[in-house]
Structure 1
Amino acid sequence: MPAVPLTEWLRGQDDQMLADLLRARPDLAAPPPPDIAVLAARAGSRASLTRAAESLDTFTLAVLDALVVADADQHPVAAERVAELVGPEASTSRVRAALDRLVALALAWGSAEYSVAPAAREASGLYPAGLGQTSPVLEGVDVAALLETLPEADRRLLATLAHGSPVGRTRDAAVVVPLERAETPVQRLLAQGLLLRRDAETVELPRQVGLALRGESPLGTVRLDEPPLRTTRRSDVDATGAGEVLELVRRAENLVALWSVEPAGVLKSGGLGVRDVRRLARELDTDDRGAAFVAELLFGAGLVADSATATNPEWMPTTAVEPWLVAAPANQWATLAAAWLDLPRLPGLAGMRDAKDKVLAPLSDDLRRPPAPVERRRVLAALAELPPNTGVASPDELAEVLAWRAPRRGGRLRDEIVRWTMTEATALGVVALGAITSAGRALLDDGPAAAAKAMAESMPEPVDHVLVQADLTVVAPGPLEPTLAIDIGQVADVESAGSATVYRVTEASVRRALDTGRTAEDLHELFRTRSRTPVPQSLSYLIDDIARRHGRLRGGTATSFLRCDDPVLLAEVSAHPTAASLELRRIAPTVLVSPLPLAEVLDELRKVGFAPAAEGADGQVVDLRQAGHRVPATARVRRGGPPTAPSEERMREIVAQLRAGDTAAATRRGRTVSLTAGGGAADTAATLALLREAIEQNGHVLIDFVDSRGVASQRVVTPFRVGGGILEGRDKVNDTVRQYPLHRITSASLIASS
């Protein structure tokens, strides 16, 4: 029975099936195909077939391979034959279910007998199911009987190729000799046609031989069922995750504080250098990978960025960091977690080497991988399938399960992505003890706002007190209230963080608090009212001793200065009303200082009649005029991810357009008027005349129409009114009355009567 072309088969499907197909394979709808023929061409292309096959599990892929092995691209293949190739362990009903899945994706078509597109053979790889090419020499030969006559060494060699790669490399393939002169197993097998010579060093096992050696399992070892996944159940998942969140937020805040004072340099090739990563790891009290991950999180959230200056670009916080720093910890976490979930990068690649042995730097474009968000969500979705508080015993087992569900996804880093995702999600508190947390589940299902609320419920209640120890340490028995955390952070340094944070009061930390304007009395009051333990005398003595010496020597800020050997002229300047606006202050009889830039000070003084000049560090006069305007560096353009499925409304429009395009393609055109030649009023008049003629004859017209999105399509319309720049008529495909602006109609044709 000849195969039905994919185009004809698609035409016979209902609108719901076509809509489901476009939803499952969104690349087919971008841009919308004008008719079924174009849809079929896209669906049968190698690129689209390969992309669709990435969503198939191991068993369904085995069924697709069976169709390819059975040459379903050349003639229809019965379901029984497919089941026979898959092997006796697969039930017929399960094979048919897999076939139904392939049909729903248009990777195969048919009911009792099935066909696949020719490109399916390319999409399955050079050797589908590990089988080589068919050998014409063995057609009609009883291969099984021939194999029985072979020596053990020859059979062992063939078995190795049959159950592994069908291609082998050997020097014995240099020359093909007659059987009677053959000395090695390879030479004998080549002489008998049981091996095919590809070149002087390569041989290939013919498909007939591979099938014969595999016996009842023609496709080889096929893992029919999903691997078992060991799980554990814990009651402290959310609490453990909340503890990780507090640590992550602390490290993120520390990074912001560090780069606010000492920004990290940007490598010439982009990214963060090894020295800066190690410094960051020391400051954040983590390893290099942990430090790189925090930096990637803040970068993904837009809280740090490349300054993009022409010389010495640096990594530093952005203005977006200010509201983030004052937000509640749960909201801070939600910002970072949402950024990570959609981050088109793989932080786990940081520190690894590429094919050229170059180290992949954090924050560089080398870590960019657009499919990363999809793969990340796959891992979390697998965890979300488990009951609440139930986690996986091992990330490796989860990687094995996901590899079975989609063996062609993820590329060579497929399993590593699963492990990286689990590690990163655990550091983020999205996963804890191998289970997805309540906040992580909310992030996946409902977004950052719901996730922040769930995380706030999981976090311990803030405490309003500390415990001051005799060794000048201050213990916070939980997360501190925001105001108390700021106060303690000013006067003490974090020594160790966790569920109970330990601070240490030092001479430098007390001086830092006094520098912010706090007095000794303020610090005594802070510890007296907030400590649940008696304040040790050593702490009081330390505060008083530092306060006595603090501020005796004072310094100020001066951006510019004015000097003059004539004190009278300098007194005249300082007495002028402009001196107040310039904030000029006399620090010596011949010196005035100002916090304003020198160029601004000089301009203002010149406006009121003075004639100052600028001088450099060597006392020579310098020119402060700008060399010219500068433009900001152009932001790097980020490519979008894979196409997403159209909305339901748009899906219906596309399917209707497909039907209309098919109807138009099958329509016989009569007289045609085109508006694309720019004929102006003459063409418009001819179009109106043609449409009125169709109305008078109660006939149909075929119009080429461009919608508001700029998408061109063809419509068969029964017109019944034209005027005011509008054609109104009934769409023949979906039997609805529509209005078509005349300026969007590029051509119109009368439909010839049959």
Structure 2
Amino acid sequence: MSGTTLADWLRAQDDSVLVALLRARPDLATPVPADTAVLAARIGTRASVSRACEDLDTFTLTVLEALLVLDADLNPVPQPDLARLLGKDVKARPLKQALAALRARALLWGPDEALSTPPASRDAVAAFPAGLGRSVPALADVDLSPLGEDELRVLKTLADGPPIGQTRDAALVVALEQAKTPIQKLLARGLLIRRDGQTVELPREVGLLVRGDRPLGRIQVTEPSMRTTSLDVAVVDETGAGEALELLRHVESLISAWSADPPSVLRTGGLGVREMRRIAKDLEVDEQRAALLVEVVVAAGLVGDSEGAEPEWVPTALADTWLTATPEVRWSTLAQAWLDLPRLPGLVGQRDERERLLNPLSAELNRPNAPRDRRWVLEALAGLEPGTTVTNAGELAAVLAWRAPRRGGRLRDELVRWTMAEGTALAVLSRGAITTAGRVLLSEGPALAAKQLSDSLPAPVDHFLVQADLTVVAPGRLEPELADDLALVADVESAGGATVYRVGEGSVRRAFDAGRTASDLHELFRKGSRTPIPQSLTYLIDDAARKHGRLRGGAAGSFLRCDDPVLLTEVMAHPAADALELRKIAPTVLVSPLPLADVLDGLRGAGFSPAAEGPDGRVLDLRVGGRRIPGKSRATRRPVHVPTPSEDQLSELVRLVRAGDRARSTQRGERISVPANHGNGPSATLGLLQRAAKDGRSVLVDLVDSHGTAATRVIKPQIVGGGVLEGYDLSYGEVRRFPLHRITSAALVED
């Protein structure tokens, strides 16, 4: 049966069909096809067919494989034959929908009486479509009744797929009377094909006979079910907002810890196991969450490799900007960095094929397709009704495996589980459902997502509750200034919906070191607390204030002064005085060659309470602000998929393809070629181009580029002269210049 060619079928379609095709397969649009013949050739390439199959569901792929079983890539196949092969379980409606999906991607063309597929689809889809071997038409009506049970068992094993098997019996060719093993008997009967000395193949016709009334097995026409529950959207968003605040707290702690003590970069790159465990312990999280946090802060540019002689992971200057931003902006930065992360943090802790441990930030975690696959999982959740939660990640993985079985690779199921766990940690998901902010992040970007999260965050509170045991309870998110003041005078003991702080002598002294006075702290607790201030807290502050600052230090290297000579005598009598190289230069003054910060730290370790002072006698804050390296702008990651042009661009592409068809048809305008070794050729081409520029008409030019590659362009000439054609290249949408001597022919394009 002869059928129409793909190029002829494309020419017969409406422009809307071609626009839909280019939308479904955007790789076909780059570069712009010169005409329909070029488009058809590009459609049939193996790489393009393989990409087009990535988004096909399991049933549609089964239909495509069934077409290949019928050799639709060689000769057109009628739809009734296809329906018989699929079996009685496949109804007409889903089959019609599958054929429409294949036609929309040009993986199938022609009328129902003559269905054809691209020849490259056999290599791109499966080496053995439907698990069946090559066709041997002479075996279509073979009788299997004379076979013994051992021979039938071999045939059934190969019929279940794959249709090839490895056996030493394939090396020996014997007559049926001499055959001893089942393989030898089947080879002698011609029911197996000998591929080489160790491989046999089951012919397609024999496999279909063995399979019986279900030639393609049990076909799953619809996607598997998935259990879901419904929650109030407000509950999902509020829970996600709480998780976002917890995320920010952990990242702030990580930046603070690495500012003071940056971990080393391994020789092979990445972060060592010991440092990983330490940060997990400091943040009080498991190592998997700690690994995710580390990956995200580096991806967001908040931490970077110092790239020195002894490289370390050091916070960047961007971290300071991030720390001063609002909570919703800080969250959106982290969430977008995770969404675009071309790596799989879930692999941390596993081992590679050489049994080497995979560390955070190591190159082995790189996966260029990770952002695409991550969005694939999130968009499946975003496709559910708002507030719909997925209770089982395995069921979601099964659904996605049915929707796109060729995506995700061997880690597909783990990818779904990792994405759900990581999305929850990043507050993109909450309780198995996508948050409203996460939904906006996917569709609109980080700026609008930040605004959406701000609506879900609890309003900051302006008070706290001081307890008799010197703990302070913040019943929600504190106002930024109040939170900073409280964090200076108290240590976080536990975090969550309510944060518990503890006030101690060390934390109060920290506030004094930062320049706060006793009256400042009394005022902070008096104004901020909704409960009475316990007397023990007042005594603690006053007692620490009496001790603090009695010793005054300055740079000499450094000096210590005190109005009480007895106290200085006590300092000099302490063993720490020798280590600090202290020397008395006056009854009330000691000096040291060491930096002031070291002297003060040494004295505090010895039980004293010194304070630093400036030239004006005021208390100085000598707390180390943390190391920083210059921030690096995040590199624009090239998309792992070909971007889809806009509707206007697609319509223009189709118009150009149609113009190319018209230009190459017999009804096209005047064509002028440049013959070799003839003087009138170039002048005739020049004249045609000049007329086109004058009349505002487009031309189809064939040219050879600087690399000797032939190309075709649709050009609207603007200036022709000086050995150059300058015009608007309709194929690329920009003004370009072409040397006239590289143009081999030109033809007017009829409008």
In structure 2, the partner of 1:222 is: 219
> What's the CA shift string for 1:395-421, capped at 9, x where partnerless?
110110011000000111111111111
Q: Is the 8 Å Cα contact of residues 699 and 751 (structure 1) preserved in structure 2?
A: no
Is 1:297 paired with 2:296?
yes
With over 3 angstroms needed to count, the CA separation of the structure-2 counterparts of 1:665 and 1:529, relative to structure 1, is same
Aligned position for 1:208: 205
Q: Secondary structure at the match of 1:203?
A: strand
CA 1:725–1:157: 2 relative to 1, 3 Å? closer
CA contact 1:306–1:313 (8 Å) conserved in 2: yes
Shift of 1:726: 11
Match of 1:248 in 2: 247
Letter in structure 2 aligned against 1:377: R
Please report how far the alpha carbon of residue 471 of structure 1 lies from its aligned counterpart in structure 2 after TM superposition.
2.3
Q: Determine the C-alpha separation between the residues in 1 that align with 2:278 and 2:718.
A: 77
SS in 1 for 2:533: coil
* TM-score after normalising by structure 1: 0.81
Change (3 A) 1:524 1:408: same
Q: Which amino acid aligns with 1:118?
A: P
The match for 1:131 is: 132
DSSP 3-state at the match of 2:458:
coil
Instruction: State the alpha-carbon separation in 2 of the partners of residues 82 and 72 from structure 1.
Output: 10
Structure 2 matches for 1:229-308, cutoff 5 A? 229-235=226-232, 236-308=235-307
Q: 1:633-676: CA deviations, max 9, x gaps? A: 999996542210122333233223323333444469754359x9
3-state SS of 2:485 partner? helix
Summarize deviations over 1:467-522 as a string: whole Å, max 9, x none: 22222222111111111111111111111111111112223222221111112222
- Displacement, 1:748? 7.6
Secondary structure of the corresponding residue to residue 227 of structure 1? coil
Structure 1 residues 493 and 371, CA gap change in structure 2 (3 angstroms): same
Deviates more, 1:150-159 or 1:382-391: 150-159
The equivalent of 2:640 in structure 1 is: 641
Q: Which runs of structure 2 are paired with 1:343-362 in the superposition (5 Å)?
A: 343-362=341-360
Contact persistence 2:151–2:182 (CA under 8 A): yes
Instruction: Name the SS of the counterpart of 2:200 in structure 1.
Output: strand
Q: Structure 1 556/348 Cα, relative in aligned 2: closer, same or farther at 3 Å?
A: farther
1:318-357 aligned within 5 A = 318-357=316-355
State the alpha-carbon separation in 2 of the partners of residues 697 and 487 from structure 1: 76
- The answer to whether the 8 Å contact 1:657/1:713 transfers is no
Answer whether contact 1:25 1:52 (CA < 8 A) is retained.
Answer: yes
Question: Equivalents in 2 of 1:632, 1:195: separation in Å?
Answer: 66
Look up the match of 2:96.
96
For 2:462 and 2:278, locate their aligned partners in 1 and report how far apart those are by CA, in whole Å: 33
Number of equivalenced pairs: 679
Question: Letter of the aligned partner of 2:122 in structure 1?
Answer: R
Q: Answer whether contact 2:701 2:747 (CA < 8 A) is retained.
A: no
For residue 178 of structure 1, what is the aligned residue in structure 2? Answer: 175
Q: CA deviation at 1:356?
A: 2.5
1:103-118 to 2 correspondence within 5 Å?
Answer: 103-112=103-112, 113-118=114-119
Q: Is the 8 A contact 2:556 2:592 kept in 1?
A: no
3-state SS of 1:168 partner: strand
Structure 2: distance between partners of 1:438 and 1:720: 51
Does the 8 A contact of 1:700 with 1:750 survive in 2?
no
C-alpha separation in 1, matches of 2:737 and 2:360 = 56
Partner of 1:12: 12
Instruction: Look up the equivalent residue of 2:174 and give its one-letter code.
Output: V
Instruction: Note if contact 2:725-2:738 (Cα within 8 Å) is conserved in structure 1.
Output: no
SS at match of 1:114: coil
Residues 1:409 and 1:749: Cα distance change in structure 2 (over 3 Å): closer
Query: Paired residue for 2:188?
Result: 191
Shift of 1:175: 2.9
Structure 2 Cα separation of the partners of residues 739 and 532 of structure 1: 68
2:2 maps to what in 1? 2
The Cα of 1:350 is off from its aligned counterpart by: 1.9
The answer on whether the counterparts of 1:664 and 1:715 sit within 8 Å (CA) in structure 2 is no
Equivalent position of 1:612 in the other structure: none
Match of 1:626 in 2: none
Cα-Cα RMSD = 4.1
> 1:538-595 CA distances to partner (integer Å, 9 max, x unpaired)?
323332333233233444567999xxxxxxxxxxxxxxxxxxxxxxxxx999x99999
Bigger shift: residues 259-268 or 450-459? 450-459
Alignment partners' CA distance in 2, 1:469 and 1:725: 88
Distance 1:208 1:539, change over 3 A: same
Q: How far does residue 446 in structure 1 lie from its aligned partner after superposition?
A: 2.3
Q: Counterparts of 1:23 and 1:243 in 2: how far apart (Å)? A: 40
* TM alignment of 1:24-43, pairs within 5 A: 24-43=24-43
- Residues 46-105 of structure 1 show CA distances to partners (whole Å, capped at 9, x for unaligned) of 111111101100010001001111001110011111222222111123212211111110
Secondary structure of 1:391's aligned partner: strand
User: Which stretch of the first structure deviates more once superposed, 247-256 or 356-365?
Assistant: 356-365
Partner of 2:415: 417
* Structure 2 counterpart of 1:68, one-letter code: L
Amino acid at match of 2:269: G
Question: Residue 265 of structure 1: CA displacement?
Answer: 1.3
Question: Residues of 2 paired with 1:250 and 1:698: CA distance?
Answer: 64
1:224/1:694 CA distance change after superposition, 3 Å: closer
| Cα distance in structure 2, aligned partners of 1:750 and 1:401 | 54
Residues 453-472 of structure 1 aligned to structure 2 (within 5 Å): 453-472=451-470
Q: Matches of 2:299 and 2:540 in 1, distance apart?
A: 43
- Asked if 1:149 is matched to 2:146, the reply is yes
Residue 232 of structure 1 aligns to a residue whose secondary structure is: strand
1:654-669 → structure 2 map (5 Å cutoff): 654-666=653-665
- What does the per-residue CA deviation read over 1:344-369, in whole Å, with 9 as the maximum and x for residues that have no partner? 22221222222222222212232222
Partners of 2:748 and 2:294 in 1: how far apart?
68
Q: Which residue of 1 aligns with 2:426?
A: 428
The answer (yes or no) to whether the contact 1:727–1:739 under 8 Å persists in 2 is no
* 1:171 CA displacement: 4.6
Q: Which runs of 5+ in 2 are unaligned?
A: 560-584, 596-629
Q: Please say if residues 300 and 334 of structure 2, whose CA atoms lie closer than 8 Å, have aligned partners that are also in contact.
A: yes
After the TM superposition, which parts of structure 1 deviate over 6 Å for at least 4 consecutive aligned residues?
A: 558-561, 591-595, 631-637, 682-686, 692-701, 719-731, 738-745
Q: Provide Cα deviations, 1:229-277, integer angstroms capped at 9, x if missing partner.
A: 1111123212221221111110011111111111121112222111111
Contact 1:726-1:741 within 8 A present in 2 as well = no
Where structure 1 has 5 or more consecutive residues not aligned to the other structure, the ranges are: 562-586, 596-630
Residue equivalent to 2:156: 159
Could you say which residue in structure 1 is the equivalent of 2:575? Answer: none
Residue 385 of structure 1 and its aligned partner are, at CA, apart by 1.9
Give the Cα separation in 2 of the matches to 1:725 and 1:173: 69
Return closer, same or farther for 1:528/1:715 CA change in 2, 3 Å cut-off: closer
Distance 2:698 2:241 in 1: 68
1:527 to 525, 528, 552: 525
> 1:421 & 1:257 partners in 2: Cα distance?
27
SS in 1 for 2:115: strand
Contact 1:703 1:716 in 2 (8 A): yes
**Partners in 2 of 1:119 and 1:265 — Cα distance?**
50
1:110 is paired with a residue of what secondary structure?
coil
Residue 21 (1) aligns with residue 18 (2): no
Partner residue, 2:673: 672
Q: Which moved more, 1:537-546 or 1:412-421?
A: 537-546
Query: Alpha-carbon deviations, 1:415-435, whole Å to 9, x = none?
Result: 111111100111112111111
CA, structure 1 residues 647+726, in 2 after alignment: closer, same or farther (shift >3 Å)? farther
- TM (norm. structure 2) is 0.81
Report the Cα distance in structure 2 between the residues aligned to 1:486 and 1:730, rounded to whole angstroms.
Answer: 60
- Cα displacement (A) at 1:443: 1.6
Task: Out of 542-551 and 125-134, give the one that drifted further.
Answer: 542-551
Aligned residues of 1:265 and 1:313 also touching (Cα < 8 A): yes
> Hey, what's the Cα distance between the residues in 2 that align with 1:743 and 1:183?
74
Q: 1:333 to 1:91 in 2, by over 3 A?
A: same
2:438 is aligned to 440
Alpha-carbon spacing, 1:249–1:557, altered in 2? closer, same or farther (3 Å): farther
Structure 1 residues 741 and 60: CA distance shift in structure 2, 3 A: closer
Cα 1:2/1:317, change in 2 over 3 Å: same
Distance 2:8 2:547 in 1: 93
